Amino acid sequence: MARKFFVGGNFKMNGTMESLKSLVSALDDAKLDSNTEVVIAPPSLFLIPVKQHLKEDQDQQVAVAAQNGYHEKFGAFTGEISFHQLADAQVPWVILGHSERRSLFHETNEEVGKKVAAALKENLSVIACVGEKLEERESDKTMEVVEAQLEGIRAEINDWTRVVIAYEPVWAIGTGKVATAQQAQDVHAAIRAWLKKNVSADAADKTRIIYGGSVNAKNCKELGNEPDIDGFLVGGASLKPEFIDIINTKLGSSKI
């Protein structure tokens, strides 16, 4: 089946009121491929103003995502924002398990799985990130690592319909060192095979698996042509005008 192409922009801890306003204006003014789903993830402080600035009357409605969330609804959890609060504020998406959260904030596979389940329970959609470090790739452990990350999620959820899997090799994030289209395709195909074996044929067929790691306007077309690459999670380039070209990767392409 045809899976809708998906492009996410992860702004990380970047931007100011002023700079994000002009970024959103650029998105509002651009002609964006209406066959591509677009989600942008500003820092949580800016979720509401960014959402308010996004134009609603265009073919392509850009949605917003949080970059993290917490499973408890309310309480004494200083500094956290709950999935319940995100849902209440009509933030429809959340990125979970990003490698920076795993490495800098020590989120384990189990915690990420629990977060995915808690977010889905609040009817949020989830961009769930997986990916190996350089030393793991070099010692042929890529799929072992990725499968353990996926297993952390599978242990907690049955329904994958509101999950987009982002394969982000850690060595390619923010480094300018992009995976080759073949390297990415191989892992995406292996993730799809894992879904078929461990979840269902339907989940394997329908779940979007997007690539992240130094995607830019120059490399997006080749990556996007691979049969199992259903879009991108973009970091650095999502803050630049070329993000629009990345969103429009499939325009003029022959891939259905």
Contact pick of 173, 229, 239, 247 for ligand PEP (by CB under 6 A): 173
Q: Judged by CB under 6 A, which stretch of 18-26, 73-81, 167-175, 247-255 contacts ligand PEP?
A: 167-175
Query: What mask of x and - would describe binding to ligand PEP in positions 6 to 35, judged by CB under 6 A?
Result: ----x-------------------------
Q: Is 67 in the site for ligand PEP (CB under 6 A)?
A: no
> Which residue number is nearest to ligand PEP in terms of Cβ?
235
Catalytic residue among 37, 100, 136, 168: 168
Nearest to 244 by CA among 2, 3, 5, 7: 7
Q: Which of 168, 210, 228, 246 binds ligand PEP (CB under 6 A)?
A: 168
Rounded to a whole number of angstroms, the minimum distance from the CB of residue 166 to ligand PEP is 7
Closer to ligand PEP by Cβ: residue 36 or 84: 36
* H-run or E-run covering 9: strand 5-10
- Catalytic annotation, pick one of 98, 100, 136, 188: 98
> Could you say which DSSP state residue 198 is in?
H
Strands 5-10 and 209-212: unpaired
220 binds ligand PEP (CB under 6 A): no
Angle at 165 between CA 238 and CA 155, to 5 degrees: 145
Rounded (5°) CA angle 62-95-168: 105
38 contacts ligand PEP (rule: CB under 6 A) = no
Residue 21 CA from chain centroid, whole number: 22
State yes or no: residue 214 binds ligand PEP (CB under 6 A): yes
Q: How far apart are CA 72 and CA 75, in angstroms?
A: 7
DSSP H/E element including 65? strand 63-66
Give the shortest CB-129-to-ligand PEP separation in angstroms: 7
d(CA 44, CA 81): 8
- CA 86/CA 79 separation, integer angstroms: 14
Does residue 234 touch ligand PEP according to CB under 6 A? yes
Shortest Cβ 10–ligand PEP spacing (Å): 4
- Give catalytic status of residue 98 as yes or no: yes
Strand 93-96 relative to strand 5-10: parallel, antiparallel, unpaired?
Answer: unpaired
Q: Based on the shown chain and the rule CB under 6 A, indicate whether residue 94 belongs to the binding site for ligand PEP.
A: no
The answer to whether residue 188 is catalytic is: no
Q: Which of 15, 97, 131, 213 binds ligand PEP (CB under 6 A)?
A: 213
The helix/strand/coil state of 41 is strand
Our separate counts of H helices and E strands in the chain read: 11, 8
Q: Which residues are catalytic?
A: 98, 168
Per CB under 6 A, residues contacting ligand PEP are 10, 168, 173-174, 212-215, 233-237
